[in-house]
Amino acid sequence: MRFDVVTIFPAMIQQALGAGIVSRAIERKTLNVVVHDLRDFTTDKHRVVDDMPYGGGPGMVLKPEPLFRALDAIEQLEESRPTVLLTSPQGTLLTQRVVERLGRQPRLVLLCGRYEGVDERVRSRVDEEISIGDYVLSGGELPALVIIDAVARMVPGVVGDEQSVAEDSFGRGLLDFPHYTRPAEVAGGTEGQTLRVPDVLMSGNHAEIRRWRKREALARTLARRPDLLATAELDDDERKLLRELTTRRDSQ
């Protein structure tokens, strides 16, 4: 899969792509990420990418021509027409469902917004606007990195363990169960308490462990993100466990 990123902070993207799972996939050529400096597509001496808003008001707006020139250049680079995304607070909220849909595209162009936004006419070349959540960021670079990370994980071979991608609890719409590693007992709780690993995880009874994990994942989802249960894909066993969790009056 190929990503082309257009930004006024290319170093911010390059730096973040230099470490981690995505970096390894780029080295293996499973992924290709090309970062383009928007200023390289200006034609004036001062490489100006922004200007004041027509109609007045605070802040600056990204000018349309450098973005159009960048898109023209990127579209020339390969045969197929890429899907063009614009990071924007007005966009479709990024969810795992959206991530899976984007992961089926062979080529994505990410235009990183900045300042108060981009000239509205740029949207005539954009297939979809994406927001990563309802909070205010300084620009679209971190959202672009979030999109690349999440979407790249959908590409076969990017994450070493295909099983873990398939089983990722979020993929089925539930929160994760609790995880433990050695030692079985550790000091460091509040008031000098020793903290233990639940016995079931050391029992070697894999059927029981599976059931405990299902119950914990459901209990957590119920407590923290009950909204997810409306759309989660539950098997018969999980539906039964959930009924038990919701009808138990003595819980908490």
Q: Please, which residue, 116 or 176, has the CB nearer to ligand 9D3?
A: 116
Asked whether position 118 contacts ligand 9D3 by CB under 6 A, the answer is no
Beta bridge partners of 51: 61
Shortest reach from residue 206's CB to ligand 9D3, in Å: 41
Shortest reach from residue 57's CB to ligand 9D3, in Å: 10
User: Tokens 């009874």 map to which residue?
Assistant: 205
Shortest reach from residue 119's CB to ligand 9D3, in Å: 13
Asked whether position 122 contacts ligand 9D3 by CB under 6 A, the answer is no
Which residue in 87, 177, 219, 238 binds ligand 9D3 (CB under 6 A)? 87
Shortest reach from residue 235's CB to ligand 9D3, in Å: 34
For residue 89, indicate whether it is catalytic.
yes
Of 141, 140, 158, give the one whose Cα is nearest residue 103.
Answer: 158
The residue from 51, 78, 116, 167 that is catalytic is 116
User: Tokens 């989802």 map to which residue?
Assistant: 221
Taking the C-alpha atoms of residue 52 and residue 173, their distance in angstroms, rounded to an integer, is 44
For residue 116, indicate whether it is catalytic.
yes
> Which residues fall within 8 angstroms of residue 181, CB to CB, at 6 or more apart?
none
Taking the C-alpha atoms of residue 241 and residue 218, their distance in angstroms, rounded to an integer, is 8
Asked whether position 66 contacts ligand 9D3 by CB under 6 A, the answer is no
Q: Residue 126 corresponds to which tokens in the numbers above?
A: 């954009």
Region from 24-32, 86-94, 101-109, 203-211 binding ligand 9D3, contact rule CB under 6 A: 86-94
CA dihedral 219, 225, 230, 235 (to 10 degrees): -30
Catalytic residues: 89, 116, 153, 168
